[in-house]
Each structure stands twice: as C-alpha cells, then as structure tokens.
C-alpha cells in the first residue's frame, strides 16, 4: 500500500517543516505502507532535510519536460532529483483544468521523469458530465493510453497511477467503493495490456478524491486499490496519520 499527500499550494516554509516533523515522529518506518508527501517546490529542500532517513519519501507536484533552459517559472526533473524527490505527480486534474495540460504533455513529462529516475504518479479521472454520460471508462482509457505513450518500464515500482474523478476532488463527495473498484479494475486491465501481465499487475493504482479518515478503510479494502492520493486531509497530521493507519490494516 502507498499513501501520498498532495499539499497543493498550501503551507509556508515553517508550516511545511512542522507538518513533516510531526509525520516523521509519528510514523517512523512503515512495514506494509509506503508514505510520500508532495510539498510546494519552495519547501522541497527543507522538507527533505526533515524526512531524510525516515522512510517517508518526497515528491513534487509537477515538473517541466526539459532538462533546463529558458522556461521562466518552471522546474526540471534533474532539479527535483537534486533536492531528494522520489515521486512527481503528473497530469493532476487541476493542472489539466487550470494550466491546460494535455495527455501528450503528460506523456512527455512521464518519459522525462523516468529518464531521471523519478517515479511519476500519473493522474487520470473523468469530469462529472463525462460520468453522467457514462463515458468515464472511455475517458480514463484514453487518458491512460495517451499519457503513458512512450513510457517504458523495467519494473512495476517505476510508475504509479492515480484515479481521481474530478467531481470528487476537494468537494467532500467521494466516489463509492463500488465505483472505485470498477474503475480500478478497468485501469488494471489497461495497464496489463500496456505493460504486460507481470508489470501491469504490480503497478500501484491509488484512489484520490475526498479521502478522509472515516472513508479510507472502505476504499482501501477494495481489490486493485493500492492506496490513496490525499489532498485536503494530508494537511492535518492527525487526519493523514489515520489514513495511513487505514492502509496498514
């Protein structure tokens, strides 16, 4: 199981240090649960100093597809590696919605992340109109195909996929465990088709969208749910720790 906190554009440097310290002192090394946190870029270095040696892994929320160059405001994969990142979230729905990211762009970033030994957490998920039109499986299938184009894997641990229905993110409205199970099974079949049975079966598929301490266990119990990508609830140590606890059961 894998539980990753996506802090989004929250917490200043002092608060980032405080929250990561609280997690380190409570979590120590997890047996069956891997834990990652993704602070804003400006806090990565400071949070890495806190996490170092703890077993909690660091991730970024986005990156540029080039190594370096004239791309004002952007951050590259080598820069993320240099500050200790293991993961990078790519194609989050907020990036797709507010920053016009496309599947083709996500695929170029995922290839670049792999080239620099970062583990991409590639996000997919349908909007509410797409769900209501019963297009969710088609939409997610297309996102997976196009966002993972040219991505080569030697091992399942080199990629994470997060299913995040857009209508469940930050809305307090969670997909039902049945909806999550059905979609994760669908994603698993696509991954097995794309990367072969052995690798496809081992890729972690996270659910994200209003995961809270009181619904985490029901979601994590379902087949093909290998953990969660946690937004709002990752900003409070107690809530995030309860969610990690739910994954441990």
Contact with ligand PGA (CB under 6 A): which of 231, 239, 243, 244? Answer: 231
Residue number with CB closer to ligand PGA (159 or 169): 169
Q: Within 10 Å of residue 135's Cβ, how many Cβ atoms?
A: 14
Contact between 161 and 207 under an 8 Å Cβ cutoff? The reply is no
Q: Is 129 helix (H, G, I), strand (E, B) or coil?
A: helix
Contact with ligand PGA (CB under 6 A): which of 112, 147, 210, 215? Answer: 210
Give Cβ neighbours of residue 82 (< 8 Å, ≥ 6 apart): none
Task: Using the structure block, give the residue that is written with the tokens 């993961």.
Answer: 87
CA distance 48 to 46: 5
In the bound state, the residue with its beta carbon closest to ligand PGA is 231
Contact between 3 and 242 under an 8 Å Cβ cutoff? The reply is no
Bridge partners of 119? Answer: 87
Residue number with CB closer to ligand PGA (192 or 218): 218
Contact call for residue 62 and ligand PGA (CB under 6 A): no
Contact call for residue 229 and ligand PGA (CB under 6 A): yes
Q: What is the nearest approach in angstroms of ligand PGA to the Cβ of residue 67?
A: 27
Q: Which residues are known catalytic residues? A: 92, 164
CA distance 149 to 152: 9
Contact call for residue 125 and ligand PGA (CB under 6 A): no
Q: What is the nearest approach in angstroms of ligand PGA to the Cβ of residue 123?
A: 7
Contact with ligand PGA (CB under 6 A): which of 44, 106, 124, 169? Answer: 169
Binding residues (CB under 6 A) for ligand PGA: these are 6, 164, 169-170, 208-211, 229-233
């Amino acid at each position: 199981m894998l539980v990753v906190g996506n802090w989004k554009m929250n917490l200043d440097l002092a608060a980032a240090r405080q929250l990561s310290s609280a997690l380190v002192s409570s979590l120590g090394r997890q047996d069956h649960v891997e834990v990652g946190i993704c602070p804003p870029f400006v806090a990565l270095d400071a949070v890495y100093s806190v996490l170092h040696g703890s077993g909690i892994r660091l991730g970024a929320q986005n990156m540029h597809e080039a190594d370096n160059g004239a791309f004002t405001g952007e951050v590259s994969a080598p820069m993320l590696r240099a500050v200790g990142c293991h993961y990078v979230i790519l194609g989050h729905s907020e990036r797709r919605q507010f920053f016009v990211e496309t599947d083709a762009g996500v695929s170029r970033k995922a290839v670049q992340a792999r080239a620099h030994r970062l583990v991409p957490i590639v996000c997919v998920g349908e909007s509410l109109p797409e769900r209501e039109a019963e297009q969710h499986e088609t939409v997610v299938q297309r996102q997976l195909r196009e966002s993972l184009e040219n991505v080569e894997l030697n091992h399942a641990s080199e990629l994470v996929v997060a299913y995040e229905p857009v209508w469940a993110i930050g809305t307090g409205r969670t997909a039902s465990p049945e909806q999550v199970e059905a979609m994760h099974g669908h994603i698993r079949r696509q991954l097995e088709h794309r990367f072969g049975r052995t690798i496809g079966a081992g890729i972690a598929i996270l659910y994200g969208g209003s995961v809270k301490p009181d619904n985490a266990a029901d979601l994590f119990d379902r087949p093909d749910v290998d953990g969660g990508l946690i937004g709002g609830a990752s900003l409070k140590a107690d809530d995030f720790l309860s969610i990690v606890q739910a994954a441990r059961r």
